[in-house]
Structure 1
Amino acid sequence: MSKLVVWGTPVSTYVRTVRLLLEEIGADYTLQSVDIFNGESQSPEYLAKNPFGKIPTLEVNGELLYETAAITEYLDATLADRKFSFSDPMLQARMRQIMAIIDSYFYGPAITTIVIQRLIVPSQGGNTDEAKVKNAIAPAQKAIEAIESLATPSPYLLGSQASIADFYLIPIFIYFSQTPEFEVITAQTPKLRTWWAQVSQLPNVKKVCA
């Protein structure tokens, strides 16, 4: 039995992506907190695990693995017999395509800008930069509408079985749905709104993302 340790801040969307997969698998793992807000991810101790100072990092029997796509693919292959991927090459490509859209085009405007400005800055006593939020709406909308065009939710993003793509998007929607921009940006994505209404109620989503 592998000894699994997930290093990362519990509120991180990417840490939650890995944890959602682990919970769905039913794997035994330890979450070791790395506080990105006080600089712990830039400490020499953590940089020895991940030279980029990003989270999460997965430790497997003493071996270290970072980058969420690599971690989730490894866990799916070794612990779930690829249950959360697809044997069909096109579906597998679609899954990776959605993951790449999230990484490259959606996470930045949705989380780094809108969520930070709407939820985090005010909670720390600051004022939302409305210009930044306004400029993030169009790219976030473009990205989410691209995902909408690829999704075939019934009830998951790509069919009847949850995939790694679902675990990528769920934690982002947890935060994003708390902003007023969510309604505007998802106005033309009815499939994703239906998907969100269903997956947001899943027990492991509530457990990991509470």
Structure 2
Amino acid sequence: MTQLTLYGTPISTYVRTVRLLLEQAGTDYDLESVDIFNGENQSAEYLAKHPFGKVPTLQVDEEVIYETSAITGYLDSVVANHKFSPTDPLARARMQQIMAIIDSYLYAPVIGTIVIQRLIVPSQGGQPDESKIQAAIAPAKTALEAIEALTVGSPYLLGSEISIADFFLVPIFIYFSQTPEFNTITAQSPKIQAWWQEVSQLPVVKKVCA
């Protein structure tokens, strides 16, 4: 039997993305913590797995895969029989578009700025940098409205079946929804709002992102 080991910080959005897929597929795996906050991801041992020191990394027996899109694509093939990717070519392209928008345009303003300034900085005794937050609102809104335009809904991003795109967006919204900017930025995205009300209550989301 293939041994799957996922390396990463459990609270990382991208680690949670992979775990959502694994849990939804009902697949056994081991989770090995790699703490990015104390520098474990820069250790020689971890850099041998991921030369850029990011999380997560998936070890499959003796093989190693890094980059979340590559990991989820692989797992969708080998443990889920492609059930988390649409069969229709256009719908599959839309899924990949949403994933790319999250990676390239949404993650940085939402997690890298708004969530860090609103949730992390105060938890460490600091004061949020309001100018950074204000500067992040417009690009976050643009990215989210682009996803809104690609969203089918009812109840998932691409229709009636959950996909890798949902696994990418859910962990970001777990943190984003705790900030006061959330309502402002999602105000013009009713399909995304309805989506979040549905997916936030899924048992797998509560298990992985509690």
TM-score range, shorter chain: over 0.9
Separation of aligned partners in 2, 1:41 and 1:183: 34
Separation of aligned partners in 1, 2:164 and 2:199: 13
SS, match of residue 65 in structure 2: strand
Q: Does 1:50 pair with 2:50?
A: yes
Separation of aligned partners in 2, 1:68 and 1:100: 11
Q: What residue is the counterpart of 2:118 in the other structure?
A: 118
Aligned pair count? Answer: 210
Residue type of the alignment partner of 2:27: A
Q: What residue is the counterpart of 1:24 in the other structure?
A: 24
SS, match of residue 37 in structure 1: coil
- For residues 80-105 of structure 1, what are the alpha-carbon distances to aligned partners after superposition, in whole Å with 9 as ceiling and x for unaligned? 11000011110000000000000000
Mark the runs of 5 or more structure 1 residues left unpaired by the alignment: none
Q: What residue is the counterpart of 1:88 in the other structure?
A: 88
Mark the runs of 5 or more structure 2 residues left unpaired by the alignment: none
Separation of aligned partners in 2, 1:192 and 1:117: 23
Q: 1:5 offset after TM fit, Å?
A: 0.3
Separation of aligned partners in 2, 1:2 and 1:176: 35
TM-score by length of 1: 0.99
Separation of aligned partners in 2, 1:42 and 1:179: 30
Residue type of the alignment partner of 1:161: E
TM-score by length of 2: 0.99
Q: What residue is the counterpart of 2:176 in the other structure?
A: 176
Percent identity of the aligned residues? 70
CA RMSD of aligned residues (A): 0.4
Residue type of the alignment partner of 2:160: S
Residue type of the alignment partner of 2:108: G
Q: 1:62 offset after TM fit, Å?
A: 1.7
Separation of aligned partners in 2, 1:159 and 1:136: 29
SS, match of residue 31 in structure 2: strand
4+ runs deviating over 4 angstroms: none
Aligned runs of 1:34-73 on 2, under 5 Å?
A: 34-73=34-73
